[in-house]
Structure 1
Amino acid sequence: MKLPPDDRRLSPHTGYTRDHWVAVADGLLDAAWRWATPHGALLDLPGPASANGVRSDGLEGFARTFLAAGFRVAGENGEDPHGWLERYAHGLDAGTRSPGRDDVESWPVILDHSLAGQAMVESASVALGLRLTRPWLWDRLDERVRDRVEEWLRGALRHVPSPNNWYLFPYTVGGFLESVGRGDAETAHARDRALELLEAWYRGHGWYTDGDGQAFDYYNGWALHFYPVLDAHLARTPTALGARLRAHLDSFALWFGDDGAPIHFGRSLTYRFASVSAVGLGAVTGDTPLRPGVSRRLLSGALRYFLDRGAVGDEGLLSLGWHGPHPPTVQFYSGPASPYWASKAFVCLLAPPEHPLWTATEERAPSGAADTVLALPEPGLLLQATASDGVVRLHNHGSDHLQPYEAELASGDDPHYGRFAYSTRTGPTGRDNAADNHLAVVVDGVRSVRRRIHPIGVGQGDGWGWGASWHRPTFGGGLVSVPSLRVESVTVARGRDEVRVHRVVGAPPGSRAEQTGWATGAGESILRPLAGWEQRGEVRAPRGTAYVPWALVPRLIADVHGEKVFVALAVLGTESGDPVATVTSGRVEMSWPDGFVVEIRLDPLEVVAG
């Protein structure tokens, strides 16, 4: 991938400008198109097939790269020096001639989400690509091709989406069809239903849950805000949803480390720099509280972070993983072209070269400006950023990605939601290794996992914050659960320090508790017992994380029977503020050498600064 020279005058932190974004888009498109079928309907990128099959993966390659091409060409007001749109025009023609046929070019038909319905996801990217490039592509297609494309897209309106952000795919299809004069009661119904659900899922201050339940992660920005706000922008229709995007970005700016890294939390992380798509969209629509120089810092910081760390391999393709290939980061539904949802980040190219997003001097990322602790009550998350190292930590007391109707053991341990803490510098260990940042109750030799999270609350004070929740430990094998067993948990964050307090209730005789810390290379984290713990050591994670091929996880151990309170200090780093803890009946007090004191009252739970 050939990039322009860095511009450290305009972009002192990343060196990247709009020209870099254009060059990356062209480079990714050029590499992906080397794997196109003869008429360009499918881009069959190399690699293992997803659970949806090779044909679906080929459509994914076409649709997701089409989105990048759409932003790139629309951002240049139709200038297309590489002829991308001509290729996609041929692909649209070939792919819709006989959908569902087992031949070289035909697209899969769109079905219900439960019937290999991945094509519904891709229909939104096809529709958006067409809408973005209408004057230069759709309006020049033969009428018969337009009719076939419409008929294929209408499959998204006639089938059942997954009960989450998928409802925005037929919404987007309907928006495109209405924009080209092909709307009707069917498109109106799909759009009304999606907006109705969006209202039901809104929790306030810019946060949607991804479907019923409490699934809060990057889908909030790259799907639940992205589709409706972009739809309104393209339609030039004012919408109240823009104010929600603005509210989201007010806190979301802290989700990125000073090196550009997103917090490694939630599913579909192989989409990588799609994580900043909401930042780009807000800059384009004006629905952002961020100064242009901060927006570009976040955008270019994330893009450069992944490019510098091997996200694009020798073939010029985005790999399935995080930095480079990393199977534990990948979901079962992901195939070789799945990472190209990263194309959503190129929405920033809709801002022309003279836009302040590109002309303002790049500013420092919020995570590197000052130590910050930020409570997000709606998703039940606590953010902790330290300027000295530019690292952001996320303490999870609210997001579990379980639907209300799901049993807690539906999928066992989920490393991307079940751990107590995540960061921009570390990733969780895999299911088959020791769990990092976890409190396990061990019964009959079986370690518990944390699945359904019951939020208690999060809050913040001057330079500190707290988050609290409880869960019922669940187990694999024949044990399943233990009657009346419960774990109540509180995290107190201050500076680099994380004081982790757990009260285990109802533990049967012979049980023990285990607390683990950050999974890093040797000697890069602290886990210090403050109360209740009896043994201290570490455990190996030979499968490593998305950041290191092999990791050490510090661990504390103690016997527990009935009720017991445990307190530990965890630090991602090598220096701490050296707090101490005192546990009395129904109360935990933590104090720092500078005189700062925090008291946790357990019945009922209350956290106060002394």
Structure 2
Amino acid sequence: MATSALPRLAGGQRSDWLAVADALLDTAMRQASDGHGRIVFPGDAGGYGAAVDGLEGFARVFLLAGFRIAGARGQGVDELIAFFAEGVRTGVDPDAADRWVRIDEHAQAKVEAASLALALDLTREWIWDALDARTRDRVIAYLAPVVGDDTYPQTNWVWFRIVVQTFLRSVGGPWSAADITADLARHDSFVREDGWLSDGDERAFDHYVGWALHVYPVLWPRMTGAAELADERRAVDVARLDRFLLDAVHLVGGDGSPLLQGRSLIYRFAAAAPFWAGAIAGVPSTGAGRLRHAAGAIVDHFVARGAPDGDRVLTLGWHHEWPALAQSYSGPGSPYWAVKGLMGILLPADHDVWAAPDEPLPITEADDLRAVAAAGWIVSGTRADGIVRVVNHGTDKARPGARTADSPLYARIGYSTATAPLLDDLAWSDPLEQAVALVDAAGRATHRTALEPLGAIVREGVGIAASASDVHLVDIAPTTHRHGAGLAGAAQSLGRMTVTSLVRGAWEVRIARLDHVAPGVDLDTLRVRMGGWPLAGAEPAHATSTGSAEARVDGRVSGIRALTPEATSRVTIRRGASPLGDMAAIPVLTWDAVVGVPFAALVALTGDAIAEAVEPLFAVEGAGEDTVVEVTWPDGRRTRTPLTDSGAPRGAHRHSRARSGARHAIAKEQHA
């Protein structure tokens, strides 16, 4: 059966979900080694080698099999049970040619061990209990090295150790209460406002918030024997998830696309996982029918566009194979963490979620404007074109004070469900799309990491966010390891820049101010460069006029129009830089640099021609704490927005953990 014949899941039945899961399982099982201990998908070996690839393939597919077997209560899935039981026996057999890479041989085995432990727990009655004593002992010995191992990265990886030790505890193996306590405390240190979490100490707000940091606290308490470890915190974890989902459901585009932002995007419909976590946990604030529909819409987005491919394999890419989207360590089995987006099938047929009335995505019902204070985001979704846009003034995957190159995946000003950041080699050294940079006489562009968030709020129908940064050139040091963060190297400061965004619908008024230049820097050699949204396709149409540039692809328009004088305009074309099309077009403006003078532009991404029934206008009144920005938007509405002298939204704290004004603004928007 061709991939196109797979059923659509949004609004579908549980049987449709099973059909998609079974299609992935059937194909994966045909890629297994003779002893079923490894599953190796077609393609070049990943950065960690073929043996790790085989373990990764088995563990991630076994997780999907675990969901399937548990949801069926072991009925009618005998082939799956037999296949993966044999794979477990082979995997822990030290003499097997296709044994699992051990935890003390490669750190990636720590990641995959968590999927193995979860799947073994889910299928305990049908696989673990039927294993012979020698195999069970070997499984315990395989997992035991995690106990007391203090080399786990202090990120979402802490959950891998929690899950494995919880399973070990349930089968009489070694475990450490101190380890679990420490890892839970570390998880709690990631907690930010409104149910959001950062993946570690860096400002890393991405899909890991949902598919890892909110999923494991829901799956873990369901493990055998976990209740006494988890009961005291279960209500708090569910409350955080409940609040997070109020934002997360508004980050799905009308076509089901998740936000193209952050690392590990090759996991694709793993982005559906937090919605299933909400259904499993029974969160009170978002209906089960909406959670199920949102998850289905995300899976549908990929199934309808070539993922899995014609051979029913999930390749390294987005809609289609595009290896540049992967991190340097990714192998052909890596995309199968996507199976987390199907974890709702672990809920049996008689679960209430399958009978809940279907509820559509919020963006198909109304426009949305909200602030995510923790991440420094303004989120704007428009019903007319189904696009969700994020304007980013708080996320860069860096610690405060760092001076690295910007990561295209984290540090750009804008991300959306209809565009992708450029990801060719040049994108890591030259921030162009959705960036404001100083460009020197040699054509080198500055970076803004680590930025200083100045606040993100919604006031009177306008989203307002700002950030400041020490803008610097980076002489990037060669590296073969690219894990999503910006690249390091010797940095040279050119000055300080503040950028403020005012957001309404498809439009952003972006205001950049060069606060000062560094000693010894010749201001006369510098230009201020502002890049708009990147649109990718087979051959984007584009045009420029005085102070304005525009690109068009498949009915979508990216435009940038100067609101302050003396700007020059162009459209830059980049080939092979986007997973969404062969050619990417980026409208760009530049000005001669001047200290203390605002440079402003209207930046737009829309599914229709940019409406300019009224010429957009921009003015700044007053100074200091009395600064007010007046904008006449293209639809004719006039707004007056008070800002501080730093460009920050007045009333927003400059400290990312204490924005009571932002919380009030969000609550006001949600109940409007």
TM-score normalized by the length of structure 2: 0.84
- The corresponding residue for 1:439 is 436
Q: Which amino acid aligns with 1:472?
A: D
- Residue among 547, 552, 557 paired with 2:590: 557
Output the CA distance in 1 between the equivalents of 2:400 and 2:365.
39
- Residue among 403, 409, 419 paired with 1:408: 403
> In 2 relative to 1, CA 513–604 (structure 1 residues): closer, same or farther, beyond 3 Å?
closer
SS of aligned partner of 1:128: helix
- The corresponding residue for 2:506 is 496
Contact 1:4 1:20 (C-alpha < 8 Å) held by counterparts: no
- Residue among 145, 154, 170 paired with 1:163: 154
Output the CA distance in 1 between the equivalents of 2:284 and 2:601.
39
SS of aligned partner of 1:20: helix
Contact 1:469 1:490 (C-alpha < 8 Å) held by counterparts: yes
Matched, 1:35 2:40: no
Output the CA distance in 1 between the equivalents of 2:57 and 2:492.
46
Output the CA distance in 2 between the equivalents of 1:474 and 1:310.
40
How many residue pairs get aligned? The number is: 594
- The corresponding residue for 1:460 is 458
SS of aligned partner of 1:311: coil
Structure 1 position 447, deviation (Å): 1.0
Output the CA distance in 2 between the equivalents of 1:348 and 1:475.
47
Output the CA distance in 2 between the equivalents of 1:132 and 1:462.
49
- The corresponding residue for 1:106 is 99
- The corresponding residue for 2:113 is 123
Structure 1 position 191, deviation (Å): 1.4
Q: Which amino acid aligns with 1:347?
A: M
Contact 1:3 1:24 (C-alpha < 8 Å) held by counterparts: no
Q: Which amino acid aligns with 1:591?
A: T
- Residue among 543, 547, 560 paired with 1:527: 560
Q: Which runs of 5+ in 2 are unaligned?
A: 477-488, 542-551, 652-672
- The corresponding residue for 1:473 is 471
Cα distance per residue 1:209-253 (max 9 Å; x no partner): 111121111111111111122111344554121111111111110
SS of aligned partner of 1:340: helix
- The corresponding residue for 1:221 is 210
SS of aligned partner of 2:157: helix
> In 2 relative to 1, CA 6–552 (structure 1 residues): closer, same or farther, beyond 3 Å?
closer
Cα distance per residue 1:19-76 (max 9 Å; x no partner): 1211111111111121211101111112122221111110000000000000011011
Output the CA distance in 2 between the equivalents of 1:549 and 1:484.
34
Structure 1 position 476, deviation (Å): 3.1
Output the CA distance in 1 between the equivalents of 2:5 and 2:328.
39
- Residue among 265, 271, 283 paired with 1:269: 265
Output the CA distance in 2 between the equivalents of 1:289 and 1:371.
19
Instruction: Let me know the Cα RMSD of the aligned residues.
Output: 2.3
Output the CA distance in 1 between the equivalents of 2:393 and 2:184.
28
- The corresponding residue for 1:180 is 171
Output the CA distance in 2 between the equivalents of 1:140 and 1:80.
17
Instruction: Give the percent of matched residue pairs that are identical in Structure 1 and Structure 2.
Output: 35
- Residue among 410, 415, 419 paired with 2:412: 419
Q: Which amino acid aligns with 1:449?
A: H
> In 2 relative to 1, CA 269–4 (structure 1 residues): closer, same or farther, beyond 3 Å?
closer
Output the CA distance in 2 between the equivalents of 1:602 and 1:512.
25
Contact 2:262 2:409 (C-alpha < 8 Å) held by counterparts: yes
- Residue among 210, 217, 235 paired with 2:199: 210
Contact 2:468 2:499 (C-alpha < 8 Å) held by counterparts: yes
SS of aligned partner of 1:41: coil
Q: Which amino acid aligns with 1:581?
A: F
Structure 1 position 564, deviation (Å): 2.9
- The corresponding residue for 1:518 is 533
Q: Which amino acid aligns with 2:168?
A: L
- The corresponding residue for 1:313 is 309
Output the CA distance in 2 between the equivalents of 1:422 and 1:176.
39
Q: Which amino acid aligns with 1:575?
A: I
Structure 1 position 104, deviation (Å): 2.4
Cα distance per residue 1:269-289 (max 9 Å; x no partner): 110110110100110120252
Structure 1 position 472, deviation (Å): 1.9
Structure 1 position 418, deviation (Å): 1.5
> In 2 relative to 1, CA 490–120 (structure 1 residues): closer, same or farther, beyond 3 Å?
same
Counterparts of residues 320-399 of structure 1 (less than 5 Å)? 320-399=316-395
SS of aligned partner of 1:531: coil
Cα distance per residue 1:545-591 (max 9 Å; x no partner): 22122111100011104333111111112224653111457444323
Matched, 1:428 2:421: yes
Output the CA distance in 2 between the equivalents of 1:533 and 1:147.
74
- The corresponding residue for 2:129 is 139
- Residue among 175, 187, 193 paired with 1:198: 187
Output the CA distance in 1 between the equivalents of 2:566 and 2:16.
52
Q: Which runs of 5+ in 1 are unaligned?
A: none
Output the CA distance in 1 between the equivalents of 2:630 and 2:566.
16
Contact 1:175 1:187 (C-alpha < 8 Å) held by counterparts: no
Output the CA distance in 2 between the equivalents of 1:550 and 1:604.
38
Q: Name the stretch that deviates more: 54-63 or 77-86.
A: 77-86
Output the CA distance in 2 between the equivalents of 1:7 and 1:87.
25
